A and B are shown apart, each in its own frame.
Chain A
Amino acid sequence: MEDKLQVSGGTGLSEKDIRSGKIFLTDDSLDCTYAWDTGVAINRYLAELKNGRIIAKECPECNRIMLPPRLFCELCFRPSGSWVYVKDTGTVNTFSVCHVHWDASRIKEGEKPHLPAVIEIDGASPGTGIMHLLGEVEPEKIKIGMRVKAVWKPEEERTGSITDIKYFKPL
């Protein structure tokens, strides 16, 4: 009795209700296009990726080597200081083996699973990771703590994007 007072509405529909024409639908779609300015710090980050190097920024207050580089340290809330090149090697902090696409559709037979990871880059402060992909590795062989190195696109194919690094492979 109490439950009846507390819950009302929420009429479940099935695919059948829709297919049979019992329910009317209207469709529409949005097409949104954006051009993002990369900002002061990330612009240099991308330029250096195009050169085949990873650059970070140091906070003069807490001495963190921040990656991705930032115009300001969000912890100290002070402008960041000097630019610092870091290595293109690192350690897998965590990873996944993903069998679904962005729209929740499943990867096709024969298509390789996506291998996202958080990678702590050598030279940046401990615990400072970036999200990227793993490659040239069997999914079942990936381990947290595994050492990896960036695999760069050939110089002429680089565009100044995080994808100038194709993926990270085991060292």
Chain B
Amino acid sequence: MRKVAIVGAGLTRFVRRALETPKELSFEATSTALDSCGLRLEDIDCVAHGSAPDAFDGIHQKGEYLADGSGGWNKPTMRVFVGGATGVHAVVHGWHHVASGLFDTCLVVCEEKMSSAMPHAQGFFLTIFDSITERALHPNLLWIFALEMNRYMERYGYTKEDMALVAVNNKMNGLKHPSSQFTEAVTVEDVINSEVMAYPVSRLDVSPVSDGAAALVLAAEPVARRLTDKPVWIEGVGWTLDTAYWATRDLAYPRYLDKAARMAYEMAGIREPHRQIDIAEPYDPFDYKALHHMEGLQLAPRGKTVELLRDGHFSRDGNMPMCPSGGLLGVGNPIAAAGTMKVAELFWQLRGEAGERQVPGSPRLGVAQAWGDLMQVSSVVVTGI
């Protein structure tokens, strides 16, 4: 397999409701990513595209519709979709294209426009539940997160306040991100006192609904070295799908992520991730999920994660900065684009280009992860400089 580097990145602003169409959002992020490394679309060999269910946009075969905006016209273009994990998985998918030797350059483009779905995009997640044994109970998407969060907190004796600390940390980080849809910090009291949606989930425990797009440019080693003196290498990738019988799994520990992370670390030659990884971008659609995922990523011992959080271990200037971008809680959550935004953050952080968000100490190794489907899939990318 060939070495693959990230050489360019671009984002749109993440907003509650965007004027731009999905195609226009994709164009903005893609052209920004190309500009950032001085390439033109004609220099790109293939496109790895990711976007969530067609039902969000009400456009069937949305990948084909988006091809114009993602630069995919007249090129080998392929769309992946693994729920919330799509944004990181699309990077894995693009890595395959280049690592295999088939292509020298690849655009990774992820887009989501959630505001079109009326009255609320959440309604379109109903059909992920088992059509016969679960949907008859009229579930809504929040149930599974609430059920998992409650089980996780119960296992280790974590409190609502503990979880709120994650929201405070990530939202604070996100205020420094130019794509963020937020302008104000929140306090632990704000989170705890926010409206209860599905106990233990309150409104500020949850990331927002967003529109946005993100793009990366990947290149094979010789091309990457010609384009930039600071390529960010994709050192390892991993992904795992667990059973859809989610109610028979241990909800307190993300087994699917454990396996995906070990796969990525092995490829990257990492034996002690909690010592070797400098920055982490765990997937954080809900505050508890960031901690749940830090454990699955082997970056914190099970049941000790809150202690580390309270000790400042996960702060921007801590030993293991968690979501320095602000994550989904602090920047926004246009589903597929949010995962790619996390890999873009690693790119900027490792190059020392993260501006106000820069993690001190010249980080050299980072990990980004996303999660989705019926709480059963995780994709992991390890990057290094």
Q: Evaluate contact between B11 and A6: CB separation under 8 angstroms.
A: yes
**Nearest B residue to A34 by beta-carbon distance?**
B131
Please provide the chain B residues from 1 to 39 with a CB less than 8 Å away from any CB of chain A in the complex.
9-20, 24-25, 27-29, 31-32, 35-36
Q: Mark A43-76, 1 if CB is under 8 A from B, else 0.
A: 0011000000000000000000011100000110
- Is the CB of A171 closer than 8 A to any CB of chain B? no
Bound Cα distance from A34 to B135, whole angstroms: 13
**Nearest A residue to B55 by beta-carbon distance?**
A30
A103 proximity list for chain B (CB < 8 A): 119-120, 122-123
Q: How many residues of B contact A (CB 8 A)?
A: 70
- Is the CB of A110 closer than 8 A to any CB of chain B? no
- Is the CB of B348 closer than 8 A to any CB of chain A? yes
- Is the CB of B178 closer than 8 A to any CB of chain A? yes
A4 proximity list for chain B (CB < 8 A): 178
Q: Evaluate contact between A96 and B199: CB separation under 8 angstroms.
A: yes
The 8 Å CB contact of A10, one of B15, B122, B146, is: B15
Q: Mark A96-111, 1 if CB is under 8 A from B, else 0.
A: 1111111111000000
The 8 Å CB contact of A6, one of B27, B36, B198, is: B36
- Is the CB of B185 closer than 8 A to any CB of chain A? no
A130 proximity list for chain B (CB < 8 A): 133, 247
- Is the CB of B154 closer than 8 A to any CB of chain A? yes
**Nearest B residue to A28 by beta-carbon distance?**
B58
A23 proximity list for chain B (CB < 8 A): 19
- Is the CB of A138 closer than 8 A to any CB of chain B? no
The 8 Å CB contact of A162, one of B29, B134, B148, B178, is: B134
Q: Evaluate contact between A94 and B25: CB separation under 8 angstroms.
A: no
- Is the CB of B236 closer than 8 A to any CB of chain A? no
Bound Cα distance from A8 to B151, whole angstroms: 41
Q: Evaluate contact between A102 and B122: CB separation under 8 angstroms.
A: yes
Q: Evaluate contact between A2 and B24: CB separation under 8 angstroms.
A: no
B140 proximity list for chain A (CB < 8 A): 98, 100-102, 104
Q: Evaluate contact between A102 and B126: CB separation under 8 angstroms.
A: yes
Q: Evaluate contact between A13 and B17: CB separation under 8 angstroms.
A: yes
**Nearest B residue to A74 by beta-carbon distance?**
B243
The 8 Å CB contact of A104, one of B36, B119, B181, is: B119
User: Closest CB-CB distance, B298 to chain A, in whole Å?
Assistant: 23
- Is the CB of B200 closer than 8 A to any CB of chain A? yes
**Nearest B residue to A164 by beta-carbon distance?**
B136
A9 proximity list for chain B (CB < 8 A): 12-13, 18, 20, 24-25, 27-29, 32, 213
B251 proximity list for chain A (CB < 8 A): 93-94, 118
User: Closest CB-CB distance, B132 to chain A, in whole Å?
Assistant: 5
Q: Evaluate contact between A10 and B32: CB separation under 8 angstroms.
A: no
Give the interface centre of B11, B18, B247 by most chain A CB atoms within 10 Å: B247
